[in-house]
Chains A and B, each alone.
Chain A
Amino acid sequence: GENVEQHPSTLSVQEGDSAVIKCTYSDSASNYFPWYKQELGKGPQLIIDIRSNVGEKKDQRIAVTLNKTAKHFSLHITETQPEDSAVYFCAASTGSHFGNEKLTFGTGTRLTIIP
């Protein structure tokens, strides 16, 4: 089955600096790569996703890049703010006609923004 590795497990950056979180996956059939943000005491919430036919996607201060050849994808957060502090999860899925039952999550990165 799919195996998703995520690094680093913890990351601290100064407010205003950029943060990068990296994930690798094992199943070359994976075609959907979402990123989730989980705030303390809350459920994960989708912040951005990318599909295999695209190499990069950007939404304001957040961007995701995908390298299918190397089987890795990364989350980039620019101009970090205190509210970016959270745990971030990457995931990969081969998808199906029905849904994302094949979605495999990374182990998470705890991002701390230092004011």
Chain B
Amino acid sequence: NAGVTQTPKFQVLKTGQSMTLQCAQDMNHNSMYWYRQDPGMGLRLIYYSASEGTTDKGEVPNGYNVSRLNKREFSLRLESAAPSQTSVYFCASEIGTGNTIYFGEGSWLTVV
């Protein structure tokens, strides 16, 4: 049972480039989340999807787009990367009734 799998693990981008972070969960969870983690800031919610076919903005959505491709997959896209988007990104999922959130291993993104 893989849980939450996200790719890539590490990526370096140049300012203005685009990329997509992929996330998949095999726990049949309804809710999926994308967070970013910055030093001294804790985890901040970028976007979430409460169920297949729906997405909503979180605390820091600017500069990002998401797609809930199906129940398993939830991708995060940076259309024009900026140095301020250098961060560690975590995908997470939850069955969807206010229970445990399960996190992926993280994706380290550097924008130069």
On whether the beta carbons of B98 and A44 are closer than 8 Å, the reply is no
Mask for B13-49, Cβ within 8 A of A = 1, else 0? 0000000000000000011010000001111110010
**Which of A56-64, A66-74, A75-83, A105-113 is near enough to bind chain B?**
A105-113
Q: How far is the CA of A38 from the CA of B33 in the complex (A)?
A: 17
Interface residues on A, range: 20 to 34
- Closest CB in chain B relative to A17 CB, distance in Å: 26
Q: How far is the CA of A108 from the CA of B58 in the complex (A)?
A: 20
A49 to B56, CA, bound (A): 25
Interface residues of A in 2-55 (CB under 8 A from B): 4, 6, 9, 32, 34, 36, 41-46, 49
**B76 to nearest A CB, angstroms?**
15
- Report B-chain residues with C-beta under 8 Å of the C-beta of A41: 105-106
Q: How many A-B residue pairs have CB under 8 A?
A: 69
Nearest residue (CB) in B for A42 is B105
Interface of A is mostly: loop
Contact of A95 among B45, B98, B102, B104 (CB under 8 A): B98
Q: Mark B39-72, 1 if CB is under 8 A from A, else 0.
A: 0111111001011000010100000000000000
Is B1 interfacial (CB 8 A cutoff)?
no
Given A44-B90, A93-B98, A103-B45, are A98 and B103 also a contact pair (CB < 8 Å)?
Answer: no
A24 to chain B, nearest CB (A): 14
Q: Given A46-B101, A103-B101, does the pair A98, B31 have CB atoms closer than 8 Å? A: yes
20 contacts between A and B (CB under 8 A): A34-B100, A41-B105, A43-B4, A43-B92, A43-B104, A44-B43, A45-B103, A46-B100, A49-B100, A89-B43, A96-B98, A99-B98, A100-B31, A100-B98, A101-B33, A101-B58, A103-B45, A103-B101, A105-B43, A107-B41
